[in-house]
Structure 1
Amino acid sequence: MVDVHPRKIGVEEEFQLIDVRTRRLAPRAPQLLARLSDVGFVAEMQRCVVEANSTVHTDLAALRTDLKAKRALLVSTAATMGLGVAAAGSAPLGVPEEIRVSDTPRFHRMLTEYQLLAREQLICGTQVHVEISDRDEAVRVAHRITPHLPLFLALSASSPFWPDGSDTGYASVRPLMWIRWPTTGPSPPVSSAAEYDRLVADLVSSGAITDPGMVYFDVRPSSHLPTLELRVCDSCPSVDTITLVTGLYRALVDREVAVVRAGDPPPVPSPTLVRAAMWRAARSGVEGDLVDLDASLPRPAADILARFLATVRPQLEDNGDWELVTQLAADAVERGSSSARQRRVLRRRGKMTDVVDHLLAETAGHAEPSYPGGGSQCALLHGYPPTRHRAPYDEAIGSDGVPRSHYLRPLQSLARLGATTLRMSQDAIAQTQSAEKVTFRPRGEGSPQPFPMDVVPRIVTAAAWQGLQRALEQRVTALNAFLVDIYGRREILAAGVLPPEVLDLARGYRSTGDASHGRAVRAHVAAVDLACTGPDRFVVLEDHLRNPTGIGYALAHRAMTQRFLGDLWPATGIVGVDGTPELIFRTLADAAPPAAGDEVTVAVLDAGARDPGWFEHVMLADRAGVELVQTDELVVRDDVVYIQHGPSFTRVDVLYSRIDEETLLSSTGYDGRPLRSGLLGAVRAGTLTLANALGNGVGDDRSVYRYVPAMIEYYLGQRPLLDQVFTWVCADPAQRDHVLTRLDELVVRPVDGGDGAEIMVGPEAGSAELERRHLELLTHPERFVAHELVTTSTHPTFDGDGLYPRHVDLRAFVYLRPDRTSVRAEVAPALLTRVAPTGSAVVDSSRGGGTKDTWILEPPEG
C-alpha cells in the first residue's frame, strides 16, 4: 500500500473559560457556544471548557495559521461576555464546587457513574490526529509509538498548579488526574483492528465504561475518523508547541508505518518502565531529565529531543517540515515548558492572578517573547544599564558597565551555565521549596507559596562585613540597654534624651514588659534591615526586636545554592553558615533564668502548621535540637512552666516565642486555662525566660527609631557607626504639616511597623491612596511617621533570559547573651537579601519580589 504524502493532520484543543474579573473558572460554555457560529467549537464535560477543532491540513504551517485563527475567534467572542480563554492543562484558580458538567445525558451519566473523577475533571488536553486509512496498521502503529510518549508530554507540560492555587510540584499534573479513569494508559499490544474492537466491546460489556467514546488510551484509532489520535498532551498556551508536537508525531507515524509494512517486530518496552518514564515527564517537563527507555537511564530532555529529531529527520524532510520543526524544537528548549513560564511569572510578581493573566495573554497570542536574543550564554548582561544612567548604586556592575572585581568570577560562571541551565536550576529550586514547605503566605493569597529565590547571589566583601559586624553589635547593644532601662529606672527620660511623649505614643510599650525587670538581656534575637547606598556603605531602615523572622530562609537559600548551583559555588572564600544553629541554641540556653538548673530546657513556641512562618519554626527547632511546641501543650504549676504530653511533664526554662504578644497572652494551655497570668508569674518568679521579652515592640516603634543614634551615645558613649534615615514624627503638629506638603515625595508608615500594606510610598502612590493618607494624617497623626524614600542599591537578578537590575535590601541577625557584667553581641553570617518586584524601588514581602543567597567573602590571608 502506498500513501500520498504528507499525511493529513488535525488538532482538537480544549480551552478553559476564565472570568476576567475574578480570574476564576467560569461555567459559561453553553452561552459562549451559542454565540459561536463556527461549527468547529463543541462542548466538553465541564461547563467551563470549550473544545476547538481545526480543519484538516496536509501543510504544517497552514495548520499553525488555522489554530491561531480559531483562537482569535474564540478569544474575541469570549471577550464580549467578560471571559478570557486559557489553553492549559489546569487553571490555577477555580472552585470545583462551582463547576457543573455540561447538560447532556452522556455527561450526566458519567457524573453519576464516576463521581469524583467527573467532578474533578478540571483539566484540559490537546489531541493530535494523523491520517491512517488502514485500521489494522493504525492499531499496530499505536503500540509502537508508546516509548516516545513521554517526550510529547514533556513538551506540552502546562499544568503545574491545581485550581486551589497550590503548586503541585509537577510540570504536568493533568496525567496524574487523567490516569484515574478506567481506560487510560498505553495502547494495548493487539495485532488487528478486529482484535482491538473486541477489546473495546469487552470493556463496554464489563460495565467499566459506558460507550466506545470512553476509550482513552494514550494513542488510539479514532472511533469516527481514519486517523491515529495522540492524547497525552496538555492543552498548550503556545500554538508553536502544538505545531511542534504535530510535526514530530506525523513524522513518527510515517516512520512506524514503514516499519510495520517491512514486517519488523514491535518493541517490547517494560510497561512498568514506560509508566515510570511517563511519571518522570509529568514531573520534570523539558527542564529536567527524562527516562531513556533504550538504556533505562535518565537523560536531559533536550538530549532526548535532539536524538529523536535525528531519527525522524527523513520523514520530516519528506513532509517539508524539517526547517520549521527544528526551529520550533530549539525554541521549545530555550523557552522552557509552559509550566516553567507560569512559575517564573509567580516568582517575579508574587500573585496567582498574574499567572492567569499570563496564560490568557499567551493563549491569545499577545504575550511578548520571553527570551529575546536567543539566550546566548554571553548575553546575560546584554542591555544591563550602567550606573551612570540610573540614580541607584549597582552592587555588581560599575558605571562603565564592567563587573566589579569581586563579582567577575561569579558572573563568568553564570555566563558559562547559560540562560537555559539557570532557568532549569531556578525551576528546580522553586519545586524543592514547594515540596519542603519553604513557603510564605503573601497578602491576599489563600495558599502558601515558595519564597522566590533568585539564582544570582549577592556578595558582601570582607571589609564591609567587618564594618557591619561592629556597627550592628553597637546598635543592638544600645537598643537592648534602652529596653532594660525603659522597663526599669527610665533614666533616659530623666536625662532628657528621649521625650516622654514619644514613649506615651509608642504602641509597643506594654505594662507586661515589666515582667522581665532585672534581666540583662531582653532582645535575645534581633534583626536590622539595611540599605546599601554605595561601596561598603549601609544605612539602617528598620529595627526588629519583637519577633524577627527570616534567618530560616537565609539558611535554606544557602542549602539551595549548594545543591542546585554547584557549578557556581566556589571551592573556598565564602564564610559558612553551618554554625548559625549552634549560635541560636547557645543564645537561648544562655538566656536561662536564675532558677534554671544545670540542664536547661529550651523550646520553640509557635502557632502550629497554619502559621505563615511554620517552615522557619520547624527548621530552627530541628537545627537547634530543641522541641517545637504550641500553647495547648503548656501548663503552669506554682510559677513553673511545663510541656505536657499526656501524663508526662517536662519543665521548660526558655521559650523562644514565635507568636505575637497578644496571641500568646490570650491563649489557653493544655488544661484549658488561660496562660496569661501563669506565664507572667513564671517570668516574674525567675523560672522562665521568654525570648524575646514581652514589651519589646517599643524598640520597633518608628518614632523611637529616630532617637537610636542618641541612645548609642547615651548608653555606650560612642558615635553611631551606621547612619539611619531622618524621620518626621507626625504626632508633632509642625512635623505633620511638613509631611503633608511633601506627601507625594515621602514614605509614610505606621509607627509600630505594621503590615507592609500600610506603608505608603509617595512617588509610587496614586491619587486615591494619597488622599486617604492625607485624611489619616489629619485625623490620627500619632499613628504615623514619615521619611525620605531611600534609594536602595540594585543588583543583577535573573529574569528568565538575562540579568536585570532590581532593588535589594539586607536583613542581618544579631544575637545577644549575658557575659558576666555586660552583654555580648554576635552577628550571624547568614544574611537575608530581599529583592523588590519589577518596577518598584520598595522592598517588602507583602508587595511581592523575592530573595537571594548572600555570600560573605572571607578576608584575604595575611
Structure 2
Amino acid sequence: MSAELTLGAEEELHLIDLETKRLSARAPQLLSRLPADRYGAELQRTTVETNVPVVTTLSDLRREILLLRKDLVDAASASDLAIAAAGTAPRSEFADFELTATGRYGRMQEQYRLLVDEQLICGLQIHVGVSDRDLAVQIAGRVAPVLPALLALSASSPFWNGQDTGYASIRSIIWQRWPSAGATGPMANAREYDRMVEDLIGSGVIADAKMAYFDVRPSSHAPTLELRTCDACPVVDDAVLIAGLYRAAVRKAEIDIVDGRPETLRAAPLHRAAMWQAARGGLAGELLDLGAHPERLPAAQAVRQLAVSLRPQLEELGDWHDVEGLLEQTLARGNSADRQRAAYAERGELDDVVDLVVKETHGPASGELPTLPTLTGYRFRAGDEAIGPGLHARPAYRGVAEFFRTLDGADIADRCERRDAAARDAGLRFTVDDEVRGFDVDLMPRIVTHHEWKQLARGLTQRARAIESFLQDAYGARRIVADGVLTEAQVVDASGWRVEATLLPRGTVRAAVQGFDLIRTEFGGWRVLEDNVRSPSGAAYGVAVRSLLDTVVPDAPRPAGLLDPHSVFALLRETLLAHAPEGGVGAVLSEGPDAAAWFEHRALAEGAGLLLLTADDLDVRDHRVVESSSGTVVDALYLRLDGELLDLRSHASNDLGVRIMDVAATGDVFLANAPGNGLADDKAMYVAVPDLIEYYLNEKPHLESVPTYRLSDEAERLAVLDRVGELVTKPVDGSGGVGVLIGPSASAAEVAARRVEIAQDPARWVAQEVVSLSSHPTLTPTGLEPRHVDLRAFVYLTGVGPTQSRLADVGLTRVAPEGSMVVNSSRGGGAKDTWIIGPEPAPEGD
C-alpha cells in the first residue's frame, strides 16, 4: 500500500503575559473558550497546542496554521496574553513551570522529577500520511539523515533560564533527556516497533505509547508518520518549508523501499552527533552531509544539498517551486535563533527578544518583509558583525552601511587617497625589523554597542585586577604557590620572570596599563585571546584612526552616544600620577625614533601632558629620577621599552637602568608597567587566568578564554602533537604574531616542523583551539568585502580594588588581510576605527 502523503501539524505555543513578558500559566482558562478538537493542553500550563486538520498541499497547511494562530491570538488578547512559537520563551525560568492538573501528568512528574519541571519548551510536529504502519516504520529509519538540517532550519531556542545557552536549539538538547527520545534505528515492520514500545512500557521507564518520544515515529493517534525533531517556528513559512522537505524525504524513502534499494545506514553515534551539531550551531554553524560517512559542510550548503537531493520528489508532489523559494527566504533572514540573538545584541534586553518572537508569531506567514536595502554582492558569512542574513545591515549599522554602500568607485578612490595622505601627514606608522611601514586604515568603522561595552568593561576590569593581584603576590609572598594553585616552577621558571621585580615596594601597582586582545566568535560571544601586560600598544593608534576618519569621512552618520577615544589621554595621566605628590611630573620613557611604536610614544606624551624622554634625557640625582637638562624630578615613568629596564644605558651612564630601579625600589619613582610584568604576558600563564580570578577575587570569570594547552604538561603535549594541524600553536613569549602557526591553514611541512619544535622544547610553546574570528565589512576599491577582525582594549589601574580599574573609551580594531585570520600589522594586517557607544544622552531639558 502506498503512502497517502497528506499533511498535518501540531504547534506548541507559549503563552506570554504582555505586561511582564514572562510565561503565563493560564492555558486552562484559555482552552475553556476554544474548540477542543483544534486546541489542547500540554504538560505545562503555560502552553497551548494547536492541531492542524489533514490537508494535501503546502498552501493549505499555511492557511490552516494561520487560522488556528489567529483564533488563539484573538482569545489570548482578551486576557492580555500573547502567543510565542519558539522552542523556549526567551524569559522563561525554572520557577515558571506549573503542571497541568491531570493524573497522567501528575504521574509523570512523580516519576521523572526535574526532567518534567524543565519542560518549558515548545516543538513543532509535522505529520505525513502513511497509514500502512509497516511502511511507516521502515521509512522512519531511512529519513534520519535529513533530520539535522530540519532541526537547524527550525532552531528557535538560544535563550533559556534567562541566558544565552550557546545553542541555537537548547529545546532539542532538553528534549533528548527523555529516556525514549532520539532515533529508533532501522526496524523491519510495525510488529518489531510495537514490541519495542511494549518492552519500554514493561520496563517501567515509560508509562504508555504516547511517551515514545522518538525523532520520527508512527503517530500514536493518527495514521501518519510524525516528525518530532523541530523547535516551534515563529514564522509560519519556516514550518511550511520543513513540512515540504519532510514530506519529500518520506516519499523518497518510500520509493527506495518499493524499489528494493538497500538502506544507507549511519551509525547511531554519528546520527546523535549530527543532531547535536545542528542544535549547537543551527544555520550559523556546520552540518553533516547525507552520507553514511559524512563530511562537514556550512549549514546553508548542507540544506541546499538536501533540497536538491529531494528535488525529484518535490517536483512529483508539486512542491519544488514553493520549497526552493521558501528555503532561500529562510537562509536570507536566518533562523529564529539568529534573529533573536541579533535583537538581544542591540540593548542586552530579553524583553526585546520576547517582542520579536511575539511579533513574528502574530504576523504574516512570511514574516516581516524587509524594508532595508540589500548589500548586493557582499560575501555574507554567519559571523559577520555588520551585515546579517539577506545581506541587510544589522540595526546598529543601518546608517553607516547605507552611507558606504552608496559610494561609487571614484568617491572610494578619492577618499582612500585622502586617507593615505592624512596618515602620512600624521606620521601614522610603525617599525618592523628596522623597516618603517605605513599603518593601513580601513574607512568602514566597527560599532560596539553600549550593552556589549558594558559586558566587556565588567569582564576586562575583573581580569586586570586579578592579573595585578597575581603580579604583586608573585613578586612578594607568593601565597598562590603556598596554597597550591600554581607551582613554584610555574612562577619563577616562567619566561617572563625577572628577579629585580622583587625589589619594588609591597603594594606597588605593577601593571598600570593592560591591553587585551578580544575576538568575537561566529555565535556573537566575546572571548579574551591574549593578555598584554608588559607594554601593550595601540591606544594612541586608536585615537589617530578616529581623527583620520573625522577628516576623510566626516559625512558618515555618527550614532548617538558615540564615545570620544581622546579621553584615554586624561585617563593615562590620572593613572600615572595617582600616587604622586600634587603637581607631580610623569613621563613616557622610550627608546626614541627607532622604537617600533615611536608614533604612539609621542602621541601619548603629547595627549596626556607627559614628558617624552629617552635614556639620554634621564639621570639619577640625590636618589631621584630627573630630566637631565632641567633637573625636573620625574615622579612616574611609563616604560615603553622594547628591552629590559636593567639594560638601559645612556651616553652618560652605563648603568642608568639599574640606578632607576634602585630609586623605584624605595618608592621614589613609580614605574608604570614595571619590570617583570612579562610573567603575566607569558602565553602559558594565560591558561591560569581563570584560576587567578577565582583565587584573588573569589569570583567566576565574566569573560571566557580560548581553550589553551600548556605543552610543558606531558599529557597535554601528547594530545597536541597529534593535533598540530588542527590547532593554533604559538611561542609563550611571542608578540606581533611572530611564530604563530594556524594548523588548518598550514602546509604539511610546516605542521611537521612545528611538531619537531614542540618536541625539542615543549615549555616554549602553547596551543589553542581554532576559534573562527568574526568578520566585518572593509572598504576596497570595488566596494565592501568581509575581513576577519579582533579588538584590543585597554584597562588602566591604580590598585586592585573594585573601583580602581577602568576600561578606556578606546579600542583598536585590527583587520586581517584577505583570506587570513592573522590580524597583526606586522603580518600584513590593518586597523579600523572602533565606534564605542555609551548611554544615549538625555533629551535637552531633562
Q: Could you state the TM-score of these two structures normalised by the residue count of structure 1?
A: 0.53
- 2:245 corresponds to which of 231, 234, 248: 248
1:460 alignment partner, one of 545, 549, 564: 545
Query: 2:126 matched to which residue of 1?
Result: 128
- 2:302 counterpart SS class: helix
* Contact kept in structure 2, 1:476 and 1:814, CA below 8 Å: no
Taking a change above 3 Å as real, the CA distance of residues 125 and 585 of structure 1, as seen in their structure-2 partners, is farther
Matched residues in 1 for 2:114 and 2:639: separation? 46
How many angstroms apart in 1 are the aligned matches of 2:586 and 2:150?
62
Query: CA 1:465–1:627 in 2, change beyond 3 Å: closer, same or farther?
Result: farther
Deviations 1:53-109 (A, max 9, x none): 111101210110110111111112111111111111111112312321111111111
Q: Could you tell me how far apart the structure 1 residues matched to 2:64 and 2:320 are? A: 20
- Aligned-partner residue type, residue 40 of structure 1: R
User: Displacement of 1:435 after TM fit?
Assistant: 7.0
Q: Following TM superposition, by how much is the alpha carbon of 1:36 offset from its aligned partner in structure 2, in angstroms?
A: 2.0
1:279 equivalenced with 2:276 (yes/no): yes
Change (3 A) 1:411 1:3: farther
State the 1:219 CA deviation: 0.3
Partner of 1:376: 376
AA of the residue aligned to 2:274? A
Change (3 A) 1:289 1:477: closer
**In the TM superposition, what is the alpha-carbon distance from 1:47 to its structure 2 partner?**
1.0
Q: Counterpart in 2 of 1:39?
A: 37
1:595 to 666, 673, 678: 666
AA of the residue aligned to 1:43? A
For residues 337 and 18 of structure 1, the distance between their equivalents in structure 2, rounded to whole angstroms, comes to 21
Q: TM-score, normalised by structure 2?
A: 0.54
Write the distance in 2 (CA, Å) between the matches of 1:181 and 1:383.
40
Q: Aligned partners of 1:581, 1:293: CA distance in 2, in Å?
A: 59
CA displacement 1:592-618 (0-9 Å, x = unmatched): 9442799967789xxxxxxxxxxxx99
SS of the residue 1:377 aligns to = coil
Amino acid corresponding to residue 127 of structure 2 in structure 1: H
The aligned residue for residue 170 of structure 1 is: 167
Deviations 1:4-61 (CA, angstroms, capped at 9, x unpaired): 6xx2110000011111111111111112112223631111111111111111101210
Equivalent in the alignment of 2:451: none
Give the distance between the partners of 1:305 and 1:360, measured in 2 at CA.
27
Cα distance in 2 for partners of 1:474, 1:138 equals 69
Correspondence for 1:198: 195
Match of 1:844 in 2: 838
Q: In the aligned structure 1, how far is the partner of 2:307 from the partner of 2:225?
A: 20
Identity of aligned residues (%): 38
Deviation (angstroms), 1:264: 2.1
> Aligned runs of 1:481-496 on 2, under 5 Å?
none
Displacement after TM superposition at 1:521 (Å): 3.8
2:500 maps to none
Matched residue type, 1:369 = L
Q: Deviations over 1:334-358 (max 9, x none)?
A: 1111111111111234311101100
What SS does the corresponding residue of 1:54 show, helix, strand or coil? Answer: strand
Instruction: Letter of the 1:270 partner, please give it.
Output: A
Q: Are residue 157 (structure 1) and residue 155 (structure 2) matched?
A: yes
1:648 aligns with none
Q: Which amino acid aligns with 2:267?
A: S
Q: Secondary structure of 1:103's partner?
A: coil
Provide, for residues 537-593 of structure 1, a one-character-per-residue CA deviation record: whole Å limited to 9, x for no partner. xxx9xx999xxxxxxxxxxxxxxxxxxxxxxxxxxxxxxxxxx99889999x99994
In the TM superposition, what are the counterparts of 1:756-775 in structure 2 within 5 Å?
A: none
Deviation string, structure 1 residues 652-671 (Cα, Å, up to 9, x no partner): xxxxxx9xxxxxxxxxxxxx
Matches of 1:626 and 1:180, distance apart in 2: 34
Give the SS at the match of 2:318: coil
Work out which of the residue numbers 108, 122, 136 in structure 2 matches 1:138. 136
User: How far apart, in 1, do the equivalents of 2:268 and 2:183 lie?
Assistant: 8
- Which AA in structure 1 matches 2:259? A
Cα drift, residue 252 of structure 1: 1.3
Aligned partner of 2:84: which letter?
A: A
Question: 1:189-212 CA deviation, whole Å, 9 max, x = no partner?
Answer: 221111111110000010111111
**Per-residue deviation, 1:480:** 7.5
Residues 407 and 51 of structure 1, relative CA distance in 2, 3 Å threshold:
farther
Specify whether residues 602 and 828 from structure 1 end up closer, same or farther in structure 2 by C-alpha distance, changes over 3 A only: farther
The 5-angstrom pairing of residues 53-68 of structure 1 reads 53-68=51-66
**Counterpart of 1:452?**
none
Go from structure 1 to structure 2 and tell me whether the alpha carbon gap of 1:372 and 1:108 turns closer, same or farther (over 3 Å shift). Answer: same
Tell whether the 8 Å contact from 1:93 to 1:162 is kept in structure 2 after alignment: yes
Q: Is the 8 A contact 1:91 1:159 kept in 2?
A: yes
Displacement of 1:433 after TM fit? Answer: 5.1
| 1:217 alignment counterpart | 214
Task: Encode CA deviations 1:450-479: one digit per residue, 9 max, x unaligned.
Answer: xxxxxxx99938967999xxxx99997788
Matching of residue 180 in structure 1 with residue 183 in structure 2: no
Whole-Å separation in 2 of the counterparts to 1:177 and 1:157: 13
| Cα distance, 1:466–1:136 mapped onto 2, change above 3 Å | closer
Cross-structure match for 2:359? 361
1:490-639 superposed matches below 5 A: 520-521=585-586, 593-595=664-666, 633=696
Q: 1:434 aligned to 517, 522, 525, which one?
A: 525
In the TM superposition, residue 265 of structure 1 has moved relative to its aligned partner by 2.2
- Structure 2: distance between partners of 1:627 and 1:220: 46
Classify 1:215/1:586 alpha carbon distance in 2 versus 1 (closer, same or farther; 3 Å).
farther
Q: Distance in 2 between matches of 1:189 and 1:172?
A: 26
Q: Secondary structure at the match of 1:187?
A: coil
Q: CA deviation at 1:325?
A: 1.1
Asked if 1 retains the 8 angstrom alpha-carbon contact of 2:570 and 2:608, the reply is: no
Deviations 1:160-182 (A, max 9, x none): 11132x11111111111111110
Residue 115 of structure 1 corresponds to which residue in structure 2? 113
| Partner Cα separation in structure 1 for residue 691 and residue 551 of structure 2 | 34
Structure 2 residue matching 1:122: 3-state secondary structure: coil
State the SS of the aligned residue for 1:266: coil
Tell me which residue corresponds to 1:563. Answer: none
1:215–1:462 CA distance, 2 compared to 1 (3 A): same
Determine the C-alpha separation between the residues in 2 that align with 1:581 and 1:93. 49
Aligned residues: 537
Q: How far is the alpha carbon of 1:159 from its aligned partner?
A: 0.8
- Per the alignment, do residues 15 and 544 of structure 1 end up closer, same or farther by CA in structure 2, a change over 3 Å counting? farther
Would the alpha carbon gap of residues 153 and 631 (structure 1) be closer, same or farther in structure 2, given more than 3 Å must change? closer
Superposition deviation, residue 311 in structure 1: 2.4
Whole-angstrom distance in 1 between the partners of 2:235 and 2:811: 47
Separation (CA, whole Å) in 1 of partners of 2:230 and 2:142: 18
Change (3 A) 1:67 1:393: closer
Residue aligning to 1:323: 321
Q: Distance in 2 between matches of 1:600 and 1:69?
A: 70
Task: State the SS of the aligned residue for 1:52.
Answer: strand
Three-state SS of the structure 1 residue aligned to 2:164 is coil
What is the one-letter code of the residue matched to 1:320?
Answer: G
The AA in structure 1 aligned to 2:251 is D
Q: Would you say 1:87 and 2:85 are equivalent positions?
A: yes
SS in 2 for 1:24: coil
C-alpha contact (below 8 Å) 2:130/2:224 kept by paired residues: yes
Shift in Å at residue 289 of structure 1? Answer: 1.7
* One-letter code aligned to 2:666: A
C-alpha distance in 1 between matches for 2:570 and 2:155 = 55
Note the 1:261-272 alignment, pairs <5 A.
261-272=258-269
Q: Where does 1:382-401 land on structure 2 (aligned, <5 Å)?
A: none
The match for 1:758 is none
Q: Which amino acid aligns with 1:14?
A: E
Q: 1:239 to 1:835 in 2, by over 3 A?
A: farther
- Residues 9, 127 of structure 2: 8 Å contact kept: yes
Report the alpha carbon displacement of residue 234 of structure 1 after superposing the two structures with TM: 0.4
What SS does the corresponding residue of 2:159 show, helix, strand or coil? coil
Cα distance change, pair 113–376 in 1 and its aligned pair in 2 (3 A): same
Distance 1:618 1:359 in 2: 45
Aligned partners of 1:581 and 1:620 also within 8 Å:
no
Aligned partners of 2:218 and 2:225 also within 8 Å = yes
Q: 1:773-812 alignment to 2 at 5 Å? A: none
